[in-house]
Amino acid sequence: MVSRTLLTSYLAATVAGYSFLDFNFGPLSLQDNKKGEERQQPIGAGSDDDPLSDFNHGFTKIPPKDFTGDLSEGPLFAGIVSFAHLPVLNCLNGDQKFDIAVVGAPFDTAVSYRNGARFGPSGIRDGSRRMAPGTYSAFDPESDPLSDAVVVDCGDIAMTPFDNRIALDQLYRGERAILKNKAASDNKPPRIVTLGGDHTVTFSAIRAVSEVHGPVTVLHFDSHIDTWHPVALGGNVSSYSQLNHGTFLHYAHEKGFLTEHGNMHIGVRAPYVRKHKDLENDKKCGFESILAREIDTIGVEGISKKIMDQAGTNKVYISVDIDVLDPAYAPGTGTAEAGGFTTREFLTLLDSLKGLNVVGADVVEVSPPYDTNAQITALAASEVANSLFSLIENAP
């Protein structure tokens, strides 16, 4: 117990010359304070307009017992996890207003190698905890992509792990329903950023978005081409295995979801499986490639220019397979390939694409079980999503 004398002398010390530091951490430099005419006066010396006057008596001010106003918002590591602390909305009824929807696609039963991308949406959300509305880009201080438009988290679409045919249809129906909401800014259909999920989820996302916008030009950032002919990649096992994470762009083309020309793979470096034939099929699907080693020849600026020239004013869908990054920067993915972009190069490239007419986007193939404890891949994917919001917000 504090003796009465001690307490009295403590309170009596609330005079000019003592700061909150002295009261909370003990007198730190009493000698200096006494002679310090020229030095800055300590703050917290007892005036009513002092923002730190709560501390003046040396006791922390505790709110009334029934006050709860400070309990639901707090540190970035607290609270139920949504993407970047965005509001969570039920978007399936079609009666909401928002500009951009984050939608999770927890699905990984169409992969050829490592699985785990079903945990991608929750992994990316967890990696996004240090992001929040009300923060401005260091590279563009005018820009706060999480507040410059109404961005919401619509949660995950339930996708069954037992039958890919049903699961992919569930995602299609979910995104179709979400596109029936209205954009807060102009009452047009909102735009979706899908968090995957293995890359097959892009098939359902493009299906839904092309119903609204017509065929889209796909900018496909990936180390693989993903237009493989189904017979070349897994499709000879059974009929429904034909649609998988390496063939979905072949089918997107076949179904007319893509423009005939102008589609691009960027960052390609994985080997082809059939001499000449993979590339012939790729060309038939309307794609051209920018190889990963062009990062060393023409650089990020050269690649950006090629993309902008090619995409022009087309309606663009951006699909980012996180394996476009080097495994050093994104180990948590299904089919990692050495020799890719650094995270910095890739974010610079994405941010340079402002002005494209982006009608939908995704970041996929994030597999948290193969990520590190430091969440390298999830952090990268979160930043990719943030850049995608910005591109959508800057679309004409």
CB of 364 to Mn ion, least distance (A): 7
Q: Which two tokens stand for residue 312?
A: 């022009």
Give the gyration radius of the chain's Cα atoms. 27
CB of 224 to Mn ion, least distance (A): 5
Among 108, 153, 198, 222, binds Mn ion (CB under 5 A): 222
CB of 365 to Mn ion, least distance (A): 6
282 in contact with Mn ion (CB under 5 A):
no
Which of these segments, 5-13, 116-124, 297-305, 314-322, binds Mn ion (CB under 5 A)?
314-322
Among 99, 144, 226, 278, binds Mn ion (CB under 5 A): 226
Is the CB of 125 or the CB of 199 nearer to Mn ion? 199
Among 321, 362, 371, 383, binds Mn ion (CB under 5 A): 321
Q: How far is CA 235 from CA 54, 253, 309, 396, in A?
A: 70, 17, 35, 39
Is the CB of 91 or the CB of 216 nearer to Mn ion? 216
CA–chain centroid gap for 343, Å, is 13
Is the CB of 222 or the CB of 345 nearer to Mn ion? 222
Find tokens 């607290």 and name the residue.
78
Q: Which two tokens stand for residue 304?
A: 């950006």
CB of 327 to Mn ion, least distance (A): 14
Which of these segments, 35-43, 122-130, 177-185, 226-234, binds Mn ion (CB under 5 A)?
226-234
E strand or H helix at 303:
helix 299-311
Site string for Mn ion, 181-220 (x = CB under 5 A): ------------------x---------------------
Measure the CA–CA gap between 206 and 179, rounded to whole angstroms. Answer: 12
Measure the CA–CA gap between 248 and 240, rounded to whole angstroms. Answer: 12
User: Whose CA is closest to 212, among 236, 180, 182?
Assistant: 180
CB of 153 to Mn ion, least distance (A): 24
Q: Sign of torsion, CA 82 177 317 352?
A: negative
Q: How far is CA 83 from CA 64, 88, 127, 143, 381, in A?
A: 33, 9, 9, 18, 11
Is the CB of 226 or the CB of 393 nearer to Mn ion? 226
Q: What is the largest CA-CA distance in the chain?
A: 92
CB of 328 to Mn ion, least distance (A): 18
For the chain, what's the residue count?
396
Which of these segments, 119-127, 173-181, 321-329, 355-363, binds Mn ion (CB under 5 A)?
321-329
Sheet strand arrangement including 263-268:
151-156, 100-105, 191-196, 357-364, 315-321, 217-221, 263-268, 287-291
337 in contact with Mn ion (CB under 5 A):
no
326 in contact with Mn ion (CB under 5 A):
no
Which of these segments, 165-173, 223-231, 272-280, 340-348, binds Mn ion (CB under 5 A)?
223-231
Residues within the interface to Mn ion (CB under 5 A): 199, 222, 226, 321
